[in-house]
Amino acid sequence: MSQRRPRTRIQEKNRAAILEAALEVFSQTGFRGATLDRIARAAGLSKPNLLYYFPSKEAIHSALLEELLDNWLEPLRALDAAGDPVEEIIAYVLRKLEMARTMPRESRLFANEIVQGAPRIMGEIEGPLKALVDEKAAVIAGWAEAGKIAPLDPYHLIFSIWATTQHYADFDVQVRAILKPGGDAHFQGAARFLKQLYCAVLRSG
């Protein structure tokens, strides 16, 4: 079997430009609103040149989601069963909030896919994502059973962390319209509030 030839520097550059342009387009318009013509224009390439790298809009979207899911799950993977429970969970909250600040387009891309019923990543959600959440939920449940944190539902704790952190990316326009922050200054206030909130929840009872 012949091995795939490594990409040249120009090929890597063009592929990265396509994915960057597609991320911008998909995060703004969703999958249905995006077109290959618009992605090609945003990447500074012709449509035939784009099709040399990706055969379809679906292929570009899948490549973005695959990379996104790997990055998205990393903070949850880092939750350490051997660490201090409250510190580990707060660290997870703050890592997710930082991702909302630095990766808002990726968050909106993922949210758009979920709102549409996850037609392109349901296998990943029901497979690797569920397996990881089950694993970490068991860790959190063990901490609660040992009396190291308050008794709580570990799945709904994880869901609440997703909701309270990713909100700052997915509803960025609304947050900024209400708070009128200077740059990303509101993330500092969000970090303080979420730390206070989750510390209170985890240590209650």
CATH number at 8 reads: 1.10.10.60
Last residue of a domain, one of 12, 33, 55: 55
pLDDT at 28: 85
Of 199, 176, 196, the closest CA to residue 186 belongs to 176
Q: Do 109 and 35 lie in a common domain?
A: no
pLDDT at 57: 94
Q: Do 77 and 146 lie in a common domain?
A: yes
The distance from CA 171 to its chain's CA centroid, rounded to whole angstroms, is 14
Question: What domain range is 9 assigned to?
Answer: 1-55
Q: Do 193 and 106 lie in a common domain?
A: yes
**Which amino acid, 157?**
L
Identify whether the C-beta of residue 197 lies closer than 8 Å to the C-beta of residue 160.
Answer: no
Cβ neighbours of residue 183 closer than 8 Å, sequence gap 6 or more = none
Over the stretch 39-55, which tens digit does the pLDDT of each residue have?
999 999 999 999 999 99
Q: Do 31 and 83 lie in a common domain?
A: no
Query: 7 — phi, psi (to 5°)?
Result: -70, 145
pTM score, two decimals?
0.86
Stronger pLDDT, 99 or 204, i.e. the higher one? 99
Over the stretch 166-188, which tens digit does the pLDDT of each residue have?
999 999 999 999 999 989 999 99
Q: Do 50 and 79 lie in a common domain?
A: no
Crossing angle (nearest 10°) for helices 9-33 and 57-77:
90
Across 74-94, b (16+ Cβ under 10 Å) vs e yields ebbeebeeeeebbebbbbbbb
Query: 118 — phi, psi (to 5°)?
Result: 55, 45
Residue 112 has, within 13 A of its CA and on its CB side, a CA count of 23
pLDDT at 71: 85
Mean of pLDDT over the chain: 92
Identify whether the C-beta of residue 95 lies closer than 8 Å to the C-beta of residue 75.
Answer: yes
Last residue of a domain, one of 37, 55, 73: 55
pLDDT at 52: 94
Residue 66 has pLDDT above 90, yes or no: no
Over the stretch 3-37, which tens digit does the pLDDT of each residue have?
556 778 888 999 999 999 999 999 888 888 899 99
Structural domain total, the chain: 2
Q: Do 85 and 36 lie in a common domain?
A: no
